[in-house]
Amino acid sequence: MPVVNYASREITCKIVYYGPGRSGKTSNLQYIHRRVPVERRGEMMSLATHGDRTLFFDFLPLDLGTISGFTTRFQLYTVPGQVYYRSTRRLVLQGADGVVFVADSQRRQMDENVESLRDLHEALAEHGVSARDVPLVLQYNKQDLPAELVCLPDEMDRLLNFRAVPSFGADALGGHGVFETLRRASELVLRRLSAPATAVR
Amino acid sequence: MLDGRFRFEGFVAGPSNRLAVSAARAVAEAPGKVYHPLFIYAEPGLGKTHLLAALGFHASQVDPTLTVAYRSSEDYVEQLRFASQRGDLNAWRREWEVIGLLLLDDVQFLDGEAEAQAELLRLIDQAQGRGFQVVLASDRPPADLDGLDQRLLSRMSGGLIADIAAPEIETRLGILRLWRSARTLDLDDAALDELAGHEVGNVRELLGVFNRLVAQRSLEPGTPAAGAAKVVVAQARGERAAPDEFESFLNELAAVVTSSVEQWRVRLASTVARWAGEGYNTQSLERFLDGTEPPDLDAVEAHFAVAVNHLRDLEQEAARLDPRLAGVPVFRDPGRLDEARSIVMRALAAYDPPPAPAPHLTIRVFSSGARNQLALRAAGEVIALPGSRYNPLYIHGPRSSGKTHLSHAIANSLLARDGGAWTVAVVDGAALGDELIEALRTGSVERWRMRYRAADAIIVDNVQRIGGSDRLQDEFFHLFNTFIESGRQVVLTADTPPPQLTAVAARLQSRFEAGLVVEIGRVSERERVARLTPVPDGAEAAAPTIDAWFDDVIEPDVPRPAIKEPSSPLDSFFLDPEKVVTNWPGLDGRVIEDPR
């Protein structure tokens, strides 16, 4: 998927929200969906199982209008976090220009975070892409929970962010950190406009 | 009118509003005796109007004889204006003399209302003298009220100024409990605590969250209220986030895009979009976008623009010649400029062909001799292989040496090629200049160019006559090059060899010499006699001609082209008006001419 088409003056970015089940990926998209003016957002498509776990994936198309003369569209996807939807995650990840890894800040969920992050690296490798070549941002969600239950961002960084990529504490339900995360991920993707295409193939 | 629903009992006091509530109560219980005037200000939705109404209601309860008047500033101004227009201002003033308590809401709207301000000032001053109470409410303190008379502002500040701030958590909880009891709802304290924990800017916002929770509970009555409250609060927080959060996101993205995209690509893409929008094929521009290095943008864009302008001219000309050619796709593709030009030239050739040779000046009737053998042989080569052997063929010689005849003869022979499909332009140098002047005058130079460029070959007789006009020489230079570069034949005649064309530019002279320069000598007396000899017809043609006889006798070793069988019964002699008399004079008028 071309990130930028100079001839038609279009920029299209696909950003995938990755992470373990119930970490808050869909909440991120739902918050963005609420904040974006109606005329700029497409219908958010989400297939959910009973209990609101993402079964297949969420898709939120955003028409950001004309930015610097380019018609700019973002496509935000989430993957199903549950372990058994491995092949679906691979499919959704295909063609991603950037990845937001949404980690659950709860201490008891740390193993799931690590497992999901490892799964992300494997999925990227299967697409023939090195994790260090894809714009990646970490989001430590659920920071609004009582302090005794969650790891603070610094601790999350020590546990997960061994590549020292940008990271943000967040409360996706309340919106804190949601746009900061998307903004940074978008920036990393857009900064590569003049570089050779590196989307996940 | 006072809204009787609003009472002190329904107004939850807390740290954020305690002073205002206390002052209102004090004023209600003793109007005109404690704070005069009382000025209450607060952001919208924090209870100003509620407090004014509660004050008025309570005052009327304390003293039923008290006349209480509640006015919004708009009403106050409107009534005053009406009275003033009616000329009944004094009656309107008398109405206020019986009022014991005036509650004037939203005084910020008195901005610019000079008459209303003056009346209010008069009322406040009078009230101080007779125990009349004025209570004012606004969305800002007096010091921030613009457009109000300074004396009025001074009076407003002279009593008590009390503000109402956004409710803090205790007040919010008190309000929520009040609403719960008023609507007998099944909401536990935990749910209310959750809602109260949500910071709001005003009470209406809190009411919105409360109503949303109530609605949510009505849909899912079995779910825990506290959990639902948490979701509702989370949603409200999301919606109440900075309204420009998305715009801020967009602005930052714009900065990133601007700094990330290569500006030369942006500019080129913009050019592509502009021309594509006008319907032009932009492939020749787009291929630069696939490259890694920026091209010379100025040159690329200028070249494209020139090509487009040329295409526009061509299309206009084509449509004039043949309306069916308007809108043909080739006129929207700068990459097919040559093709477009060719279409127009063909249309022009069909519509307005270039001047053709005189049909009677053929090789067959061209008198050959030693003086023109080389020229004649070169002409034969040109006719056999136009554009590839001698190009240009430059024939020079004195006047009446037969240059014109030979050049027309070449043209006529070329015209007969390929079943008559050829177009050969034959023009005198002077005529070429006249045509260009006319084209310049009528603004049809391009058409003039294309008319000649459409030809398969061009023959310019007396090319020395283009000298003297720089513009004509420029045009002819390009025309000449067009023919030579495209392999089309050029034949030129002149009275001198190229180096002696003193009036013609050197760049043309040198190009004339690049082909074959041949000379035709002066016509000899013997040849002149031969030219006058009729060509025999029928059986007589089989006999040796006088031309051949002369040639064989005088120059027996000079090779000559074979004489073709004549198809016309007349020799050039009979075509020469000087030699033929069709209306013979009477006998007395006849003279015997010297047969020369």
Q: What confidence tens digit (pLDDT) does each residue in B31-43 have?
A: 888 888 899 999 8
pLDDT tens-digit profile of B241-285?
555 688 888 888 888 887 777 778 778 877 887 888 888 998 888
The mean predicted confidence, pLDDT, of chain A is 84
Cα separation, B575 vs B584, in Å, equals 17
> If we measure between CA atoms, which residue out of A163, A119, A116, A113 comes closest to residue A142?
A113
Q: How far is A39 from chain B (nearest CA, A)?
A: 13
- Parallel, antiparallel, or unpaired for β A54-67 and A45-48? antiparallel
* Interface check B244 vs A, CB under 8 A: no
CA angle (B494, B500, B501) in 5-degree steps: 55
Say which residues have a Cβ less than 8 Å from residue B284's Cβ, sequence separation at least 6.
B304, B334, B335
Q: Highest-confidence range of B206-215, B233-242, B539-548, by mean pLDDT? A: B206-215
List the single residue in B with minimal CA-CA distance to A38: B246
In A, which residues are within 8 Å of B266 by CB distance?
Answer: 6, 68-69
Instruction: Tell me the three-class secondary structure of B488-538, residue by residue.
Output: CEEEEEECCCHHHCCCCCHHHHHHHHCCEEEECCCCCHHHHHHHCCCCCCH
pLDDT at res. B554:
45
* Most B-contacting residue of A67, A72, A97, A143 (CB-CB within 10 A), to test interface: A67
List the single residue in B with minimal CA-CA distance to A41: B246
pLDDT tens-digit profile of B492-531?
999 999 989 989 998 898 899 888 998 888 776 655 555 5
Cβ count near B68 (within 10 Å):
22
CA angle (B563, B567, B569) in 5-degree steps: 105
Say which residues have a Cβ less than 8 Å from residue B244's Cβ, sequence separation at least 6.
none
Report, as an integer, the average pLDDT of B409-427: 88
In B, which residues are within 8 Å of A68 by CB distance?
Answer: 254, 257-258, 261, 266
* Interface check A183 vs B, CB under 8 A: yes
The mean predicted confidence, pLDDT, of chain B is 81
Please give the structure tokens belonging to residue B158.
Answer: 């002279």
* Interface check A34 vs B, CB under 8 A: yes
User: Residues in chain A, how many?
Assistant: 201
CB contact under 8 A, B258 and A7: no
Per mean pLDDT, which range of B299-303, B334-338, B522-526 is the poorest? B522-526
CB contact under 8 A, A175 and B266: no
> If we measure between CA atoms, which residue out of B209, B163, B180, B182 comes closest to residue B46?
B163
pLDDT at res. B477:
93
Q: How far is A133 from chain B (nearest CA, A)?
A: 17
B30 neighbors B64 (Cβ within 8 angstroms): no
Q: Is the peptide bond before B499 cis (omega within 30 degrees of 0)?
A: no
Helix (H, G, I), strand (E, B) or coil at B74: helix
B502-507, Cβ contacts within 8 angstroms, sequence gap of 24 or more:
B502/B467, B503/B464, B503/B467, B503/B468, B504/B463, B504/B464, B504/B466, B504/B467, B504/B473, B505/B470, B505/B473, B505/B477, B507/B477
Please give the structure tokens belonging to residue B455.
Answer: 């030809």
pLDDT at res. B304:
92
CB contact under 8 A, A72 and B257: yes
List the single residue in B with minimal CA-CA distance to A186: B253
CB contact under 8 A, B234 and A174: yes
Q: How far is A2 from chain B (nearest CA, A)?
A: 13
B164 neighbors B202 (Cβ within 8 angstroms): no
pLDDT higher for B576 or A166? Answer: A166
Cα separation, A105 vs A141, in Å, equals 6
* Interface check A51 vs B, CB under 8 A: no
* Interface check B261 vs A, CB under 8 A: yes
Cβ pairs A/B, distance under 8 A: 87
In A, which residues are within 8 Å of B263 by CB distance?
Answer: none
* Interface check B277 vs A, CB under 8 A: no
Q: What is the pTM of this model?
A: 0.42
Report, as an integer, the average pLDDT of B341-365: 84
pLDDT tens-digit profile of A115-136?
999 999 999 999 888 888 899 9
List the single residue in A with minimal CA-CA distance to B231: A173
* Most B-contacting residue of A190, A192, A198 (CB-CB within 10 A), to test interface: A190
Please give the structure tokens belonging to residue B26.
Answer: 């004090």
- Composition of chain A by helix, strand, coil, percent to 5: 35, 30, 35
pLDDT tens-digit profile of B6-34?
888 888 888 888 889 999 999 998 888 88
* Interface check B253 vs A, CB under 8 A: yes
Helix (H, G, I), strand (E, B) or coil at B155: helix
Cα separation, A169 vs A105, in Å, equals 9
The partner residue sitting opposite B245, judged by closest CB among A35, A174, A194, is A35
* A197: confidence class by pLDDT, cuts 50, 70, 90: very low
The partner residue sitting opposite A6, judged by closest CB among B246, B253, B265, is B265
Please give the structure tokens belonging to residue B546.
Answer: 């006088």
pLDDT tens-digit profile of A54-102?
556 678 888 887 777 778 888 999 888 777 778 778 888 888 999 999 9
State ipTM.
Answer: 0.83
* Interface check B254 vs A, CB under 8 A: yes
* Interface check A2 vs B, CB under 8 A: no
Say which residues have a Cβ less than 8 Å from residue B591's Cβ, sequence separation at least 6.
none
* B580: confidence class by pLDDT, cuts 50, 70, 90: low
Cα separation, B208 vs B211, in Å, equals 5
* Most A-contacting residue of B239, B246, B280, B300 (CB-CB within 10 A), to test interface: B246
pLDDT at res. A117:
94
In B, which residues are within 8 Å of A35 by CB distance?
Answer: 238, 241, 245-246
In B, which residues are within 8 Å of A179 by CB distance?
Answer: 245-246, 248-249
Helix (H, G, I), strand (E, B) or coil at A46: strand
List the single residue in B with minimal CA-CA distance to A32: B246
Say which residues have a Cβ less than 8 Å from residue B261's Cβ, sequence separation at least 6.
A4, A6, A68, A70, A193, A194
Cα separation, B435 vs B260, in Å, equals 57
